[in-house]
Structure 1
């Protein structure tokens, strides 16, 4: 019989219990993380992951503003512009290898490599001399930087006490959505600049090159900050390195509670250490097969769909936001519906008439206002982070209904509001990520999350091109078809695990 005397009378704001008993042995890793509290170290992890997430998303989405500005210097055709705009999503083809690396070599190591190399390659992209050089460099850079998006979700979730996890995921998602605002803000300040600096082997160094360089800065800062963090204690414990995991937990506890505090855990529950002699391919199969067979198969498919809806609905229409909004506001007719106003100026010839160095200022203003509202709204709903399933279903309803109404009303302001509301699904990206942390075992979590994000970004890649191919001739049908896609997420979300009970954080373990 094991005597357990862990008693909790109440949980203060920092997450440290008011009564604990020292010298506890064979403690489960989830409970051990709980006992480290919630303090300075957790804030540092949160801030680092948020900065890396911000940098990766800015680097990915910012090309919707860079490509039009670079069209003159690089002599870009319509086809070239489309390829450069969507190539960032193609980098997710390497999500599975990155997930495997995170599950076998460590979350911290994978994050360090992906963010630092992504920063270097993205910076080099600003020196591209032609379309092909930019395409290759951007593809290579995105294959590293985009991996950081999924890796930060896993790393943050594993380093955060359970009762704070959902809220931290939402905060991280705020930075992901704030990336849209950062893209437009940087474009507002940089693209209107007028300078031309001759450089060796380059035609000129112009504002769009500086914009690319500035968009990579958060990735560089985040990679430096990662050097000051520990490896995920959950990963170490699951690998069988319980002594190392315990040292990490002690350090986290000391950072959160002061150097004179005493961490009550003396040993962690042992797990079977994996066989180090297993071959590479057998290791890959061992990591992958459990995700695609029962009992995890249903959850994998369910979260794949939800990730795809949340990411693609937000990203696809964001990538088309500058083009659609510019066409919407330049159409003279006031009584036209949304599709009529948008399609009026979206024609293949409109891309080749002039060489544009910067997006129209009205479009940038609209993007700034839209992304500022979107980010602020997401910060407000952090208070609802514990009602994940309800929030997700409500968001899908708003987005799906907006797809239907966007072209049904004739009032321009209402049409624009519905077009913006379609992209509300991005609010739930962090929510889906938190379900991956809760549902999948540590051994497969990084790979499962990377698989979900990879599938979602491939849907984004296809969605950008599908919308571009159908919006002129089948605009209304495009929005109606997308509403069906979003509504399917309501059914999938309905079968997610229920909301946590109010008393799940405060518990008393009886003496056995």
Structure 2
């Protein structure tokens, strides 16, 4: 007889690469749904006449996946991974697409809120994927899966091909369907197609079919208690930086007038005589930042099984330093370079967290990863609201707070146990 790990090792082959593509596309869809809002901010700000506080609420709304992450994780432990992925991805894409037809801000915000609160299936994707992976390949394969977030980031950054373009602007039943609305509609496609791929091509997780549910309260009992508390802190610290990340396109749009991202402390509200479309360079800089993830992704794929996720999580210390220097730079070029460094280094920590979060807990506790993701979403919401409130008056506070929290997360990561090439339980 073979153990589960031995059986998975014996069957590794073409199916696992197909699984990587399907799960990766679902991971990319999550990135597109989250990051598309940041790229439409400069234009939607004008069209919907948004204040900075409104934009903070809008960017925060998508992170309400915190509820969905735990809910879908719990249901996946009871009803199966595949079924939950099909339903959650479908609903997420459906409401994300419907938001493009909203004619006023609060309806748009409500639909993005529903998309966020019903979405959040990413913890299930990683649990589902890891249950098919053999022990000696798991670190590299999960790192490869995490790399698809970069692909989604790049897809979202292709906003510069749509939003500033006149071809994507038309009228639909009296609604001025501007190009940013076309962009929102296009961003719902990855979620819908991911749901179809899981429905048509993918089987249920064999490990789920073999074993039953374990209660979520196990997380805070020995021997899982100490690692749960450490991961809770790390997820909060690393996710708060989404407040900065989601505001990158808006900050770069402000830099177009000269000076540092925090130089314009009293940007006036848009009026009907202003163009709603920043120059393409503001979007192309977001594309460059997204592409700068590539070296970090390649590094984690090559090194994860050699060093283990714990050591790579310490890259948060470098991320902290790069965010600090984003605050002190004075030119557009310096801001772009440091933003790319920050992006390339922070993705190492994110990929490591995906591996460590999967390996530190029994796979039947996919709701545990959903819980930690939920904590991260709380941090992301907080970060976006803080940026929205302070970006016009005291930009230094949220930027330096991101730097301090990343430093804290890197130090707490040292307390985690090493999980290199461990067997799933």
Establish whether TM, by shorter chain, passes 0.5: yes
Match of 2:152 in 1: 179
> How has the CA–CA distance of structure 1 residues 234 and 403 changed in structure 2, closer, same or farther, with 3 Å as cutoff?
same
Q: Which moved more, 1:123-132 or 1:184-193?
A: 184-193
1:61 corresponds, among 35, 43, 53, to 35
Match of 1:32 in 2: 7
- SS of aligned partner of 1:370: helix
Match of 1:218 in 2: 190
Match of 1:126 in 2: 100
2:115 corresponds, among 141, 148, 159, to 141
Residue 357 (structure 2) pairs with residue 436 (structure 1): yes
1:475-503 CA-to-partner distances (Å, cap 9, x unmatched) read 445443332211222222112223638xx
Residue 201 (structure 2) pairs with residue 287 (structure 1): no
Structure number with the higher helix fraction is 2
Q: Which moved more, 1:433-442 or 1:409-418?
A: 409-418
1:46 positional shift: 0.8
2:404 corresponds, among 459, 479, 484, to 484
Q: Which moved more, 1:460-469 or 1:371-380?
A: 371-380
Gap runs ≥5 in structure 1: 1-23, 240-273, 275-285, 334-340, 506-512
Match of 1:403 in 2: 323
The answer as to whether partners of 1:64 and 1:319 remain within 8 angstroms in 2 is yes
1:199 positional shift: 2.4
- SS of aligned partner of 2:121: helix
Residue 257 (structure 2) pairs with residue 330 (structure 1): yes
The answer as to whether partners of 1:311 and 1:429 remain within 8 angstroms in 2 is no
1:198-235 CA-to-partner distances (Å, cap 9, x unmatched) read 323x4232312211111111112211110211111111
Match of 1:448 in 2: 368
> How has the CA–CA distance of structure 1 residues 367 and 195 changed in structure 2, closer, same or farther, with 3 Å as cutoff?
closer
1:390 positional shift: 2.1
> How has the CA–CA distance of structure 1 residues 362 and 418 changed in structure 2, closer, same or farther, with 3 Å as cutoff?
same
TM-score, length basis structure 2: 0.90
Match of 2:229 in 1: 301
- For 1:107 and 1:493, the matched residues in 2 are separated by 29
The answer as to whether partners of 1:99 and 1:447 remain within 8 angstroms in 2 is yes
Match of 1:153 in 2: 126
1:493 corresponds, among 400, 413, 422, to 413
Residue 205 (structure 2) pairs with residue 232 (structure 1): yes
* C-alpha RMSD of matched pairs (Å): 2.5
2:66 corresponds, among 89, 92, 96, to 92
Q: How many residue pairs align between the two structures? A: 419
Q: Which has the higher contact order (CA 8 A, sep 6+)?
A: 2
1:314-367 CA-to-partner distances (Å, cap 9, x unmatched) read x22221101222223421x6xxxxxxx223324252456865533331211211
The answer as to whether partners of 2:243 and 2:386 remain within 8 angstroms in 1 is no
> How has the CA–CA distance of structure 1 residues 29 and 401 changed in structure 2, closer, same or farther, with 3 Å as cutoff?
same
- For 1:348 and 1:397, the matched residues in 2 are separated by 33
Match of 1:321 in 2: 248
1:126 positional shift: 1.5
Q: Which moved more, 1:363-372 or 1:90-99?
A: 90-99
Say which one has the larger Rg. Answer: 1
- For 2:255 and 2:168, the matched residues in 1 are separated by 31
- SS of aligned partner of 2:176: coil
The answer as to whether partners of 2:264 and 2:392 remain within 8 angstroms in 1 is no
- SS of aligned partner of 1:365: helix
Q: Which moved more, 1:408-417 or 1:162-171?
A: 408-417
Residue 19 (structure 2) pairs with residue 45 (structure 1): yes
TM-score, length basis structure 1: 0.75
Gap runs ≥5 in structure 2: none
- SS of aligned partner of 1:198: strand
